[in-house]
Structure 1
């Protein structure tokens, strides 16, 4: 068991300072004038926020090699020094734990993968603690302290309470994960839903940078959706929001594990596609890889299953766009391996479902490896450290 780490506090205690920090983090380097423009703060407020962050080494001047020395008021843009602090991000899947050591700019320095054979919370926490210890040793090599750890899991996660309310893939209910992991690692710990964590990473460092309203839809083992509205990741009053996977689009459709029929997830998740192909062909399809092989080989039942999945996803995205009107929808997740088999159906179903000008919403695909989900967890650890109010 690790000894408890002394917590360092970021010198950005006010909402204005936190806003300045997150703006430079996601959009920097930025001049102080540009910072004032983007945050809507006065130049005096920006200067007041920047100075302590510079003094503590979190901000550095982004000096151009060719730039002449500044005279009078500093004109050089400021950027975040990524190497100033380190964070651990952990993604728990049904059969693997992925851990990354990331810097303050959420750049992955080290990554580790460990197979998960037992899903019992005690065993998973022991695995997390072992990975954290390994990454703390790696951090010593950088000579930089780890300021926090975050764990991302699928399902209903109450981040404020640090509790996993229900995770179907792990079969967990009401696990006080933040408290248990913190006790095991000695690190300040944040727990969040995996899609929401990935949404934070996309908002600050990915395809959502600079966009106040976007959605992230993930396809694969489940169908998830993270939402950013007016610059904030939507968590929902009860920790549940954006559950596109549990939109019922066919009342006569297959039974979902949530108890309803015809949910997007019951039609379009990896396991739903495999099940439909098994039923239609009578073949013992082992999993998503074999299902893909059948479909790409021209098997009509397999191709139909993927087409139906694409239609379900497209209708789900159309519903989200009609409700919230995001500028962009990012489609990601391990299920993108099959994108060529259902891209057309996603687009067609979205187009027919979206109301009027909502159809102008920008749909993009962004394949992300599982390490990016762990990076998403690291982003939530950074968010907690900053005390950001964008969640």
Structure 2
């Protein structure tokens, strides 16, 4: 299962060598799974979606909500975390817990061998990666700890994925 962590949360699942699309092509809208009941309003119109807490848009919205101040980008948000801004640190910490719950739900639902995290937010993996993996290990059924791994992908993963769709079924 691949999660793209960026403006929102994208997700794709390769099952038996094929990309799982769901009945009408809208499968794996995992960023819109409710993790926080009656939580923050998401861009989709619902409340408590995972991407309301762990995404560039989510981080910026939560920061403005708590401080009244706007920050311009995820990069600026992560700089605040690096400078130990207490509000930014708290937002990232809670967001990481939300992402861990989303990964747990995915692990328990589809039993993947591997979860790969890609996207712009993984550039700041050093600020949340260890906490994320530790939290997932705490909350996932122990049987999955033996074989489900979580790792980051390369910076070109989106390009590789798009190219593989273009050449699907062709000999290259």
On whether the aligned pair clears a TM of 0.5, the verdict is yes
What do the CA deviations read for 1:109-128 (whole angstroms, capped 9, x no partner)? xxxxxxxxxxxxxxxxxxxx
> Is 1:383 aligned to 2:164, yes or no?
no
2:151 aligned residue: 364
Question: C-alpha separation between the residues in 2 aligned to 1:345 and 1:240?
Answer: 30
Question: C-alpha separation between the residues in 2 aligned to 1:269 and 1:373?
Answer: 17
Question: C-alpha separation between the residues in 2 aligned to 1:359 and 1:220?
Answer: 26
Shift of 1:351: 2.0
Question: C-alpha separation between the residues in 1 aligned to 2:120 and 2:16?
Answer: 28
Shift of 1:384: 5.0
Shift of 1:270: 0.3
Shift of 1:377: 1.9
Equivalent of 2:21, from 226, 235, 239? 235
Q: Summarize the alignment of residues 129-144 of structure 1 with structure 2, pairs less than 5 Å apart.
A: none
Q: Is the 8 A contact 2:101 2:136 kept in 1?
A: yes
> Is 1:262 aligned to 2:87, yes or no?
no
SS at match of 1:268: coil
> Is 1:306 aligned to 2:86, yes or no?
no
Unaligned runs of 5+ in 1: 1-214, 387-391
1:185 aligned residue: none
Q: Is the 8 A contact 1:253 1:262 kept in 2?
A: yes
1:294 aligned residue: 80
Equivalent of 2:125, from 339, 361, 374? 339
Shift of 1:314: 1.2
Question: C-alpha separation between the residues in 2 aligned to 1:385 and 1:231?
Answer: 15
Question: C-alpha separation between the residues in 2 aligned to 1:359 and 1:243?
Answer: 25
Question: C-alpha separation between the residues in 2 aligned to 1:282 and 1:341?
Answer: 24
Equivalent of 2:35, from 249, 259, 282? 249
Structure 1 or 2: more helix by fraction: 2
Shift of 1:313: 1.2
Question: C-alpha separation between the residues in 2 aligned to 1:252 and 1:267?
Answer: 13
Q: Is the 8 A contact 1:315 1:346 kept in 2?
A: no
Q: Is the 8 A contact 2:53 2:59 kept in 1?
A: yes
Structure 1 or 2: more strand by fraction: 1
Question: C-alpha separation between the residues in 1 aligned to 2:98 and 2:126?
Answer: 16
SS at match of 1:364: strand
Question: C-alpha separation between the residues in 2 aligned to 1:381 and 1:252?
Answer: 40
CA RMSD of superposed structures (Å): 1.7
Shift of 1:373: 2.1
Question: C-alpha separation between the residues in 1 aligned to 2:161 and 2:154?
Answer: 14
Question: C-alpha separation between the residues in 2 aligned to 1:375 and 1:344?
Answer: 26
> Which structure exhibits the higher relative contact order, with contacts defined as CA atoms closer than 8 Å and separated by 6 or more residues?
2
Question: C-alpha separation between the residues in 2 aligned to 1:318 and 1:263?
Answer: 15
Deviating beyond 6 angstroms after TM superposition, the runs of 4 or more aligned structure 1 residues are: none
Highest Rg: 1 or 2? 1
